[in-house]
């Protein structure tokens, strides 16, 4: 069954949106035809084919993606749509082209409805691999460099926490310190003896140390805007890497934080030990070199390594948070196993002494 054209993507509306974006002159959209529709955990993506009248310019997009809330989702991320709309309106709009897909419209509606109109990169880019097959080494290196380019642009930017994003305040810290122990208790109760006594104690130590560990964030030094869901399948890889670069997408988890949080999520949470041990330090070295090449100063590799290890430790909270928000164990159980092994490998428990 062919999906209906959304009310926010009629020919008249798209003509208005594309003219406002500088794409259309006297041309107008005369027909919009849905070609495909797919669902993620939180959203629905519809590919729209466009027909024009009054011009055949090469710059006219022949297709767009319409992204909106998935109506039947059971996952509880109420803020995800608002956050991604905010990202494209207030963050991506301030950046040079090439980091993320171009967004022609980012809009919030009533009742929590929202939508994005995004460029279709299908002709020039592809998903790095079929989940859960990991990308090649070269693909990983280019994805890491893409995050470095993005992080370097916002590194200690004076707009952070002022006109772009917000820093967590004492109230937010207090809320986290009150909520996380309860979430972990529910998590541990659900797992029962599938979570060993030793691993329970690691979580208890993390909860005890959390107020002190948050000092790294409170320093407000060497912070940037991070993706927040930086697995490699949230990257469009160029079909011709010599002519284009990686574009990062799905920005509903962005925030101001330590850049290594994205790297820890990408590698420690998603890579099995053999692959992580083999590629981890080379990828971090490539990331650091890309930061330096783009003007980041006063942040040596030792500081990066320390931040990365601390970020890996904090990733212990990821499976707990995911379970609390009703993600399937197919996702978070493997995350728990991988990140626990990474914490041990990297001696990240040293931060809890």
Q: Which residues pair with 122 in a beta bridge?
A: none
* 149: pLDDT strictly greater than 70: yes
How far is residue 320's CA from residue 187's CA, in Å, rounded to a whole number? 6
CA–CA separation, 215 and 5 (whole Å)? 49
Structure token pair of residue 325: 């928000």
Q: Which residue has the tokens 């962005």?
A: 254
pLDDT, tens digit (0-9, with 9 covering 90-100), for 224-283: 999 999 999 999 999 999 999 999 999 999 999 999 999 999 999 999 999 999 999 999
> What's the number of CA atoms in the CB half-sphere (13 Å) around residue 78?
2
* Helical ranges in the chain per DSSP H: 11-20, 80-90, 137-154, 170-191, 197-213, 215-218, 260-267, 273-293, 301-314, 317-324, 329-345
Q: Say what percent of the chain tops pLDDT 90.
A: 90
Q: Is the peptide bond before 132 cis (omega within 30 degrees of 0)?
A: yes
Per-residue pLDDT at 22 exceeds 70: yes
Q: How far apart are CA 136 and CA 229, in angstroms?
A: 20
pLDDT reading at 320 higher than 70: yes
C-alpha dihedral sign at 340, 344, 345, 350: positive
pLDDT band for position 55 (cuts 50, 70, 90): low
Q: Which of 14-28, 54-68, 257-271 has the highest mean pLDDT?
A: 257-271
Rounded-to-integer distance, Cα 114 and Cα 264, Å:
30
Residues 185-234 have pLDDT tens digits of 999 999 999 999 999 999 999 999 999 999 999 999 999 999 999 999 99
pLDDT at 74 (0 to 100): 61
| Residue 79 pLDDT level (bands cut at 50, 70, 90) | confident
Does pLDDT of 59 surpass 90?
Answer: no
* CA atoms of 17 and 287, how far apart (whole Å): 37
pLDDT of residue 307: 98
Task: Check pLDDT > 80 for residue 306.
Answer: yes
Instruction: Give percent above pLDDT 70 in the chain.
Output: 97
Looking at residue 209, its pLDDT comes to 97
Token digits for 62? 């022949």
Closest CA to 141 of 263, 298, 38, 314: 263
Whole-angstrom Cα distance, residue 145 to residue 138? 11
Domains and CATH numbers, the chain: 7-119 (3.30.200.20), 126-352 (3.90.1200.10)
pLDDT the model gives residue 75 = 59
Tens of pLDDT, residue by residue over 86-102, are 999 999 999 999 999 99
Q: Which long-range contacts (CB under 8 A, 24 or more apart) does 43-49 make?
A: 43/67, 43/68, 43/69, 43/70, 43/80, 43/81, 44/68, 44/69, 44/70, 44/71, 46/3, 46/6, 46/9, 47/120, 47/122, 48/5, 48/9
DSSP code of residue 282: H
The pLDDT mean for the chain works out to: 94
Q: Is the pLDDT of residue 56 over 80?
A: no
| Residue pair 116/105 in contact by the 8 Å Cβ criterion | yes
pLDDT of residue 278: 97
Please give the model's pTM, rounded to 2 decimal places.
Answer: 0.95
The band of 113, judged by pLDDT with boundaries at 50, 70 and 90, is confident
């Amino acid at each position: 069954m062919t999906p209906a054209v959304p009310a926010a993507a009629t020919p008249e509306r798209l003509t208005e949106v594309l003219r406002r974006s500088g794409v259309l002159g006297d041309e107008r959209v005369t027909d919009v035809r849905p070609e495909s529709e797919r669902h993620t955990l939180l959203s629905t993506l519809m590919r729209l084919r466009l027909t024009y009248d009054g011009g055949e310019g090469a710059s006219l997009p022949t297709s767009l993606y319409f992204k909106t809330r998935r109506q039947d989702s059971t996952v509880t991320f109420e803020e995800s749509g608002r956050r991604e709309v905010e990202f494209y309106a207030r963050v991506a709009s301030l950046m040079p082209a090439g980091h993320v897909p171009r967004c022609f419209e980012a809009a919030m509606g009533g009742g929590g409805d929202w939508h994005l109109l995004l460029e279709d990169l299908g002709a020039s880019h592809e998903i790095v691999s079929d989940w859960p097959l990991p990308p090649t080494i070269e693909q990983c290196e280019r994805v890491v460099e893409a995050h470095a380019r993005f992080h370097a642009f916002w590194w200690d930017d004076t707009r952070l926490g002022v006109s772009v994003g917000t820093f967590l305040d004492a109230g937010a810290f207090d809320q986290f310190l009150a909520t996380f122990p309860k979430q972990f208790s529910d998590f541990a109760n659900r797992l029962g003896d599938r979570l060993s006594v030793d691993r329970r104690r690691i979580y208890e130590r993390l909860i005890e140390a959390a107020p002190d560990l948050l000092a790294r964030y409170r320093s407000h030094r060497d912070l940037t805007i991070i993706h927040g869901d930086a697995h490699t399948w949230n990257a469009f890889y160029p079909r011709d890497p010599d002519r284009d670069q990686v574009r990062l997408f799905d920005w509903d988890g962005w925030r101001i934080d330590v850049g290594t949080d994205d790297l820890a999520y990408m590698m420690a949470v998603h890579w099995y030990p053999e692959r992580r041990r083999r590629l981890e330090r080379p990828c971090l070295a490539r990331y650091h070199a890309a930061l330096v090449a783009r003007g980041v100063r006063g942040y040596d590799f030792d500081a990066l390594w320390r931040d990365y290890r601390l970020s890996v430790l904090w990733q212990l909270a990821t499976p707990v948070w995911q379970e609390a928000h009703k993600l399937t164990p197919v996702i978070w159980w493997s995350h728990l196993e991988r990140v626990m092994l990474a914490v041990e490998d990297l001696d990240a428990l040293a931060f809890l002494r």
